Amino acid sequence: MIVMKFGGSSVANAQRIKHVSSIIQSYAAQKPIVVLSAMGDTTDHLLEAAERAVNGTVDMSRIETLHRSTAEELGIQTDEIEPLLAELKTLLTGISMLRELTKRSRDYLVSFGERMSVRLMAAWLNTQSVPARACDAWDIGFVSDSRFMSAELLDSVWQAIPAALAPYTAGSDNRIPIVTGFIAKDTNGYITTLGRGGSDLTATMIGAAVRADEVQTWKDVDGILTADPRIVPDARTVPEVTYDEAAELAYFGAQVLHPRSMAPCRKTGTPVRVKNSYNMSFAGSVIVEHHTGPCGPVRAITSVQRICVIDIVSTRMLGASGFLAHIFNQFLKWDISVDMVATSEVSVSLTVKTDKDLSGLLEDLSRVAEVRCKENKAIVTVICDVSHSSTLLAKGFAALAEAGVNVQMISQGASKVNISMVCDNSEAAHVVQTLHTAFFA
């Protein structure tokens, strides 16, 4: 038994749906459970439609057109998606009248993307004589807490999912379940979402709970690469990474898997394989608990662009206790997460993403210290075995010195698998290329 997950771009149009269905069919003997995202950028389009509704306009034409024309192109009935489109219109109308959008309504609203994509795929498979059944995640045991927009699954899912899927896994129902990624319901029955990109978690949760042989996440590149191929054209596939390494990779910018999604499979030791839908026979990359064979010290090099470095300097910190606690409390208060930290006796430097307004935080910090915020920076991360850190640092920095790049802050994660450094955003690609050449050429 395997779990196969396909993201939005893999099911973006009729042609891609057909292609994915042929991949699913070729794995029929392994009894796949399939997890899908919403078609293409539907989640974004739903959010845009919501924004417009808040401003008084109900317009879901893009979403309607995409789903109806895809059904038409596939030659399948739209009777399963029409009720959803109608419900969505009612919801948008309600939002346009109230002129407000709560997190709960937003989750209800974006859920339509996944609910429609699984219905189209199941209908198409059925026309191909491949028995399939569309399943909403809550019908197969997905219950979460009520933290709308980034809900956590409850522990009960570990029993509920295998119980709900038993007919399929035991073979009494021969249909292939096509499950909505990303969504769940809370114990009150309200629809929740697991956070953007959450379909990966749906897939790994199912795979772990039913003790699948493997969870496959299908992309359009050859698995996990040693660097972003747009930056390093000759980046190559990393055949094997550990859960730790994969989590750091995802966290530090590689488009691998949602960082949170590794947790369930890691509990059960279920391998997660990243495969290329355009190169089916290629093994891709597999994520496992421990390396199964010898491998070089560096796995990959990633970058996160447009981050901001906050330098906090205070002589009050000298020998005093509780200063860092106070500093971090301000980040908690403003709900701003820190990615990298470096400290000295009188200063601490931290990096944050720039998707949130930092002004309140900076004002609070300025009350106790001298604060400087440096924008347009990037973090470049070397995912590696840090037991070799001295050699790696020497090699990496020699290459960077030769390339004339100055790194402004460095930290070695306690997770023992990453060395991160900050540079100017404009130099990030150059740093990644230089390090890639140093470690992989």
- For Mg ion, the binding residues (CB under 5 A) are 8, 37
Tell me how far, at minimum, the Cβ of 44 lies from ligand ASP, in Å.
7
Tell me how far, at minimum, the Cβ of 293 lies from ligand ASP, in Å.
32
In sequence order, the 6+-apart residues with CB closer than 8 A to the CB of 137 are 114, 179, 180, 181, 182, 183, 184, 202
Task: Name the residue nearer to ligand ASP (CB basis): 182 or 243.
Answer: 182
Among 3, 4, 6, 7, binds ligand ASP (CB under 6 A): 7
Count residues binding ligand ASP (CB under 6 A): 12
Residue 138 touches which member of Mg ion, ligand ASP, none, C-beta under 5-8 Å by kind = none
Task: Name the residue nearer to Mg ion (CB basis): 40 or 141.
Answer: 40
Residue 198 touches which member of Mg ion, ligand ASP, none, C-beta under 5-8 Å by kind = ligand ASP
Nearest partner of 323 among 291, 287, 347, judged by Cα: 347
Task: Name the residue nearer to ligand ASP (CB basis): 5 or 377.
Answer: 5
Task: Name the residue nearer to ligand ASP (CB basis): 11 or 309.
Answer: 11
Asked whether 202 and 137 are in contact (CB, 8 A), the reply is: yes
Tell me how far, at minimum, the Cβ of 348 lies from ligand ASP, in Å.
33
- Binders of ligand ASP among residues 105 to 124 (CB under 6 A) are 113
Task: Name the residue nearer to ligand ASP (CB basis): 7 or 253.
Answer: 7
Task: Name the residue nearer to ligand ASP (CB basis): 255 or 347.
Answer: 255
Instruction: For residue 312, give the H/E element and its range.
Output: strand 298-313
Residue nearest to ligand ASP (CB): 199
How far is it, in rounded angstroms, from Cα 277 to Cα 369?
52
Tell me how far, at minimum, the Cβ of 45 lies from ligand ASP, in Å.
10
Asked whether 277 and 10 are in contact (CB, 8 A), the reply is: yes
Task: Name the residue nearer to ligand ASP (CB basis): 32 or 181.
Answer: 181
264 binds ligand ASP per the rule CB under 6 A: no
Task: Name the residue nearer to ligand ASP (CB basis): 7 or 259.
Answer: 7
- Binders of ligand ASP among residues 271 to 310 (CB under 6 A) are none
Edge-to-edge strand ranges of the sheet holding 409-412: 338-343, 347-353, 298-313, 370-384, 418-424, 409-412
How far is it, in rounded angstroms, from Cα 126 to Cα 398?
59
How far is it, in rounded angstroms, from Cα 286 to Cα 292?
11
How far is it, in rounded angstroms, from Cα 89 to Cα 25?
34
Backbone angles phi, psi at 180, to 5 degrees: -70, 125
Tell me how far, at minimum, the Cβ of 112 lies from ligand ASP, in Å.
11
Tell me how far, at minimum, the Cβ of 189 lies from ligand ASP, in Å.
21
Residue 113 touches which member of Mg ion, ligand ASP, none, C-beta under 5-8 Å by kind = ligand ASP
How far is it, in rounded angstroms, from Cα 280 to Cα 223?
11
Tell me how far, at minimum, the Cβ of 8 lies from Mg ion, in Å.
3
How far is it, in rounded angstroms, from Cα 176 to Cα 129?
11
β strands within 220-279, DSSP E: 240-242, 272-276
Backbone angles phi, psi at 19, to 5 degrees: -65, -45
Task: Name the residue nearer to Mg ion (CB basis): 183 or 378.
Answer: 183
Q: Spell out, one character per residue from 34 to 73, where the chain touches ligand ASP: x when CB under 6 A holds, - when not.
A: ---xx----x------------------------------
Residue with tokens 């009894």: 31
Residue 284 touches which member of ligand ASP, Mg ion, none, C-beta under 5-8 Å by kind = none
**Start-end of H helices in 296-412:** 323-333, 359-366, 389-403
Nearest partner of 13 among 52, 61, 67, judged by Cα: 67
Residue nearest to Mg ion (CB): 8
How far is it, in rounded angstroms, from Cα 171 to Cα 173?
5
- Binders of ligand ASP among residues 174 to 213 (CB under 6 A) are 181-182, 196-199
Give me the residues that bind ligand ASP (CB under 6 A), please: 7-8, 37-38, 43, 113, 181-182, 196-199
